[in-house]
Amino acid sequence: MAPGFTAELVEEGDPVIGQELIRVHHADGRIQELHLHDYDELYALPGVYEQIVQDRLGCRSPAEVAGLLARAVDGLGWSREAARVVDIAAGNGVSGEELVAAGLHPVLGSDLVPAARTAALRDRPDVYDDYLTLDLLGLTDAERGAIRGLGANVLCCVAPVGDHAVPAPALAATAALLEPDALVAYLHDVDLVDADPVTAEVWGAGVRAEELERRRYVHRRTVRGAPYHMEAVVWRVRRP
């Protein structure tokens, strides 16, 4: 933990995912209470996200998705070193760090929350070539051009895709800016949404899309220790 405060996960009940209570004790005696998805405030406290989400709740998704992508890259006979990854919903860069550990190259990190970029550049300045705050459903022509210019051939989204998180059209819109033959990885929240909102039709007309991998695993634990599941999914998306 950074000096000046300590943080604890409040173990009362089993709150709705994202509403878990975090109590921060500051050195001046102030007590700050946050919920897990209060990203602006949470990312402003170095180390708290990792302490609560990775260590206390045992989140495995960044490593799971990076590993699945690396195996898919290997299976296609691609070079991991040549895999150029756009990492969306990247938060404070934990996902990008796992991509690097898997031998992949995150050329861009992006998140809708401005505080995520600040935290990623503060805590993991060497992970991404660049990090941008982007609304993927409202990209400007300049932003689209910048992403296209990266020559990226992998899209990573270590967040659930669906109406409650990253919209499927946002995933598809970003995938359309990749190289004509690309991989796309994301999460499906099987405990919240029965049917995966990403289907072959999502990628658009004329696109050859093939699901390569789907792995169900324990994403993390709840406050009371119950398993919270996800599916990590990888598609190969080929455009004319």
Report the CATH number at residue 169. Answer: 3.40.50.150
How far is CA 119 from each of CA 94, 116, 173, 177, 217, rounded to the nearest angstrom? Answer: 10, 5, 25, 26, 28
Same domain, 107 and 45: no
pLDDT tens sequence across 123-156:
999 999 999 999 999 999 999 999 999 999 999 9
Average pLDDT over residues 230-236: 98
Same domain, 105 and 217: yes
DSSP state of 56: I
Q: What are phi and psi of 155, to 5 degrees?
A: -120, 130
What range defines the domain where residue 168 resides? 61-238
Contact present, 179 and 216 (Cβ < 8 Å): no
pLDDT tens sequence across 110-123:
999 999 999 999 99
CA 150 – CA 172 distance, rounded (Å):
17
Same domain, 18 and 111: no
pLDDT tens sequence across 170-212:
999 999 999 999 999 999 999 998 899 999 999 999 999 999 9
- Domain total for the chain? 2
Is residue 14 over pLDDT 80? yes
Strand 5-9 and strand 84-88: pairing?
A: unpaired
Is residue 3 over pLDDT 80? no
Average pLDDT over residues 58-84: 98
Is residue 79 over pLDDT 80? yes
Same domain, 52 and 139: no
Is residue 2 over pLDDT 70? no
Is residue 1 over pLDDT 90? no
Tell me what the pLDDT averaged over the chain comes to.
Answer: 96
Same domain, 209 and 128: yes
**pLDDT score for 74:** 98
Same domain, 161 and 211: yes
Same domain, 195 and 146: yes
Q: Give the residue from 113, 105, 64 showing the smallest Cα distance to 86.
A: 105
Same domain, 78 and 29: no
Same domain, 147 and 28: no
Same domain, 218 and 105: yes
Same domain, 118 and 206: yes
pLDDT tens sequence across 43-53:
999 999 999 99
